[in-house]
Amino acid sequence: MSRRVIVLVCMVFVLHLAACRRQPTPESGTGLGYGRTVFIAHENQVQVYDVATPENPQLITTWPAPGRVRRIVTDGQRAYVIHWPSVESWDSATGPPDGGVQLVNISRPQRPQIEGYFTTRHLAEDLAVQGGLVYVSDWENVYAVEWPTPNAPREVTSLPQGLGTVEVEDDLLLGVWGSCSFRSGACVGGLWLADISEPQAPVFLGEFTPELRPGYDVALLKTDTHRYALVAGHGLWVVDITDPAVPQEVAYQEITDGFYHSRLVVKENTAIMASDAHIRVYDVSQPDHPLLVGQMEWHSPPLDMMWGNDGQYLYVATWDGLAIVDVRDRQRPFLVATTQNTLISPPQPTVTP
């Protein structure tokens, strides 16, 4: 079975979320959320929650996307909603014309305004923002996109590499891809790296492809002398990317759960990985010897995850809804609150010409 078919079989079952808030507050900068609101992807809509009181998140509003929402990345003023095509467009002779990225003004979360679109040629999965460029990944390409005004995105260039999750920092763009076959259980995946020191002309640098392991999520870890990619997929991989042209794995802690999806966040010397059965907390102060220091059980596959309130809370998107986890004591994380995902008839947001 080809890599593309394996990925297709797995990905059709996955949803996505992003989150943000003020008391507790998510980490500043572009990410899954910002402020005091959490943006949850559920099927073809975004549900917005006020989580100023983490024990009692409150639904604010919703808005629709053309197709299934894959991820939401926010910067406080705008949300980039990565979504698949509408059901009606799947049979189009020219391919899906309405899948990609929806740009939404969220300066007033109660009144979101759809401002623009960027259409991808294949099924969109993720994006990362660096400076004036947006790097968008789909199943076949990574695009560098200029978005000077909301209704006028422009593709600058693209690289022929399908990625499920992307991350960017300084001069480095990295991403992971992979999945497992529901029928055979066979897995494929890898870590991919590109130089973006010339932002409008990214250059492929190198790739790490372990045997029979999917790559579901990736985060960066930097020390005084080295740079590492931490990858979630059948466990935690630690890959030295100090020389990104020659990535070298320095540690791998295998786990048996998280077969179809895992999520990962890193802050300073702590890495937290969520699978479909556990949240695990690692001390990664010695990257080549990550140490499991705490964990909790749960029973819902994670779709996205972010830090909040200076690393005191986690916001985790699951197939069921939003989960808020207290991680102030790294050895004893515990669940604070959950919401239940239900489709809600949303008010139509204002569309900016």
**8-state DSSP, 10:** H
Q: What angle do CA 252, 14, 135 make, to 5 degrees?
A: 75
Q: What is the chain's length? A: 353
Kindly give the parts of the chain with pLDDT less than 70.
Answer: 1-35, 90-97, 259, 342-353
What is the CB neighbour count within 10 angstroms for residue 78? 22
**Which pLDDT belongs to residue 344?**
58
The contacts found for 340-343 with CB under 8 angstroms, 24 or more apart, are 341/40, 341/42, 341/47, 342/42, 343/42, 343/43, 343/45
In SS3 terms, 63-98 reads as EECCCCEEEEEECCCEEEEEECCCHHHHHCCCCCCC
Span 119-135, pLDDT tens digits? 999 999 999 998 889 99
- Looking at domain 3-89+97-347, its CATH superfamily turns out to be YVTN repeat-like/Quinoprotein amine dehydrogenase (2.130.10.10)
CA separation for the pair 332, 352 (Å, rounded): 47
Give Cα separations from 91 to 63, 87, 120, 179 (angstroms): 25, 8, 16, 25
Give Cα separations from 229 to 20, 136, 153 (angstroms): 24, 19, 30
CA separation for the pair 226, 185 (Å, rounded): 35
**Which pLDDT belongs to residue 95?**
53
**Which pLDDT belongs to residue 86?**
85
CA separation for the pair 37, 82 (Å, rounded): 18
* Residue listed under structure tokens 């009606």: 88
**Which pLDDT belongs to residue 88?**
74
**Which pLDDT belongs to residue 90?**
66
- The whole model's pTM is what? 0.84
CA separation for the pair 319, 341 (Å, rounded): 8
* Residue listed under structure tokens 């790294």: 330
Span 7-42, pLDDT tens digits? 444 443 333 444 433 344 544 444 445 558 889 888
CA separation for the pair 138, 296 (Å, rounded): 33
SS3 label, residue 215: coil
